[in-house]
Chain A
């Protein structure tokens, strides 16, 4: 298999995840499975407060470079035919797509796992900064402990398999 097809996009304007999925499907000839994930802006915080706006910053050039590095890690672990990542920046409202991750492989397991891995690493390692506006208050969001735990489970592949077996049973 040649190098997997990779498309990374930092989008300053709203994007259409269904169109992104359809486009991706056309570009991964030979794949037997596609897994696509879309993250949406939640309208409420964990404490039930309304979020009126989310603002995302990125570091042009560096953010793309770091996402490319994350995708390369996934490509080493799973035999991917392709992957596509779209991540929003700028001002977003509740319900808007904020991130899209699609992976394609010959078989489903690799596509599922690689998409899960990419999302965990995007949450923890991709250079984005998120500011949440609640009423008149705005605050910068920091990674939650769960985000770091989600990423850590990929460090030990045998441990990962055990954790998955327990969850699936």
Chain B
């Protein structure tokens, strides 16, 4: 099962998902596109500047191949402290 998580502004539009990756989704770009098709408001939020993707506890800087054991988190800009 892949786990897909949403943080910050993105969590207003989607709950965490625990499921096999959708058919044909093999990387983070394809997952972003699939999520955007399924949920238009989430899609708008994912298209805003500053959205980052974390795969298995590491920020990614380029599209990454995914498998059903991965944990993928989509985040809006960080604001701690």
Q: Are B50 and A142 in contact (CB under 8 A)?
A: yes
The reply to whether A119 and B75 contact each other, CB–CB distance below 8 Å, is no
Contact status A127-B80, CB under 8 Å = yes
B79 adjacent to A128 (CB under 8 Å): yes
* Complex interface bits, B42-60 against A, C-beta within 8 A gives 1, otherwise 0: 0000000010001001000
Residues of A within 8 A of B9 (CB): 129, 140
Report the Cα distance A124→B52, complex, angstroms: 14
Q: What chain A residues lie within 8 Å of B75 (beta carbons)?
A: 59, 127, 129
Most buried by A among B9, B75, B80: B80
Q: How many residue pairs, one in A and one in B, have C-beta atoms under 8 Å apart?
A: 65
Count residues of chain A with CB under 8 A from any CB of chain B: 25
A99 close to B8 (CB less than 8 A): no
The answer to whether the Cβ of A141 comes within 8 Å of any Cβ in the partner chain is yes
A159, CB-defined interface residue at 8 Å: no
Task: Indicate whether B5 reaches chain A with its CB closer than 8 angstroms.
Answer: yes
For the complex, is B34 an interface residue (Cβ under 8 Å from A)?
no
Measured in the bound complex, the distance between the Cα atoms of B50 and A138 in whole Å is 19
Shortest beta-carbon distance from B58 to chain A in Å: 9
Contact pick for A143, options B11, B73, B79, CB 8 Å: B79
A61 at the interface (CB under 8 A from B): yes
Query: Using Cβ atoms and an 8 Å threshold, which residues of chain B touch A87?
Result: 80-81
> Which B residues from 1 to 48 make CB contacts under 8 A with A?
5, 7-9, 11-12
A126→B76 contact, CB < 8 A = no
Contact A129 B81 (CB under 8 A): no
- Do A57 and B8 touch (CB < 8 A)? yes
- Say whether, besides A57-B7, A59-B5, A143 and B57 are in contact (CB < 8 Å): no
* Contact surface of A with B, Cβ cutoff 8 Å: 39, 56-57, 59, 61-62, 65, 87, 98-99, 119, 122-130, 140-143, 147
For the complex of A and B, 6 pairs with smallest distance between CB atoms: A129-B8, A128-B80, A123-B81, A126-B80, A130-B79, A140-B9
A-contacting residues of B (Cβ < 8 Å)? 5, 7-9, 11-12, 50, 54, 57, 73, 75-81
